[in-house]
Structure 1
Amino acid sequence: MNCYKNIIIMLLLIGSLFCNTFATESEPDPLKSETELSQNNSKTEIDSIAVYEYLIREYSEDASYAQNIVGMIIGLPFTIAGSVIVIGGLALISSGNALAGVIGVIAILICASPALLIGAPILIYNYKKYKVHKRNADKRDELQEALEQYKQRQHSIQVVITPVTNLESSSIGLNATLRF
């Protein structure tokens, strides 16, 4: 019965550790701050291409996540091995045999503890950084697509036709506007 309490406590600790890993972090959005700047001061002319290129550079600096995948690949086997050894050691301790109990304690102290102390922090750190780097890579790709669309719109001619009603002379018509 005592062994099951230890297993439940261990699982709760591991669960709370992983819940902390999956917690979201709030980061300021530089694109939103630029938008708010342009809305607050309508007289300021902002070169949108320069803003896009600046944001793409900012997100590109922190968009490589290959090293985090390697870190997770290194940390995962250590964490799994340590967890399996802990569960096996607890099973040996609860078996009632004195020799098996000693072997279980030795296995937990000598094998499982270092594996968990090495693997879990490496896995958690690299997973957190992977999420950040992946989000930056996705945002960079979105900004590059938006920049290409903006450049295409900038070099095109738009014709806008709107209906016009004049209530004073009770007439209606169409108004055509060319945008370059």
Structure 2
Amino acid sequence: MKAIAIIVILLLVVVNALELLPAASAFQMYLSGSAVVLSLVALIAILVGRGLPRDNRTGAEAARPTPVTTRANQSDAEIVRFLAMLQARGRLVDFLMDNINAHDDAQVGAAARVVHAGCKTVLLEHFRISPVRTESEGSTVQVAAGYSPDEYRLVGKISGPGPFSGVLVHHGWKTDVVNLPRVLRSSSDRLPAIAPAEVELR
């Protein structure tokens, strides 16, 4: 019904536009009569369309988009799972989220040893990590033209095209193999917990 009303209104606009053209008076009277008829038809169509009960417009209701619920991404869940492994083996999240200013350097150092040992174990189990450059830091190295920007960060005075020569400040790290376990999702609506809350029952 709404489409019919739109068509009738468009015809009404056309007829009213034609009335502005110079023509014989009989033709103008005919157009005026047509304009009145079309106006009445358009008015009836609009009123009828508005007066339809809601039950007859189920098609329009069904066309409304349904709200989309946010679902936790599988890759996000796997990142959280890896963080959970670092927490379980090295207590990394505990260490990072704790206020270390409340502890002295000896306590922080002792905790850091536990974090270091546990997190290193996780990295070695699931990644094959190697340095980008094998030379010792402080040695002079050559960086070829067309180097990979994710493997090299050039600092200092850079001029002209490569190759570049400079002092190795940090040898960098890269990974050749990643072997992370797949996450079995218990729920698609939320990410898994990094570590469960522990409650001692009494």
How does the TM-score come out when normalised to structure 1?
A: 0.35
What TM-score results when the alignment is normalised by the length of structure 2?
0.32
Greater share of helix:
1
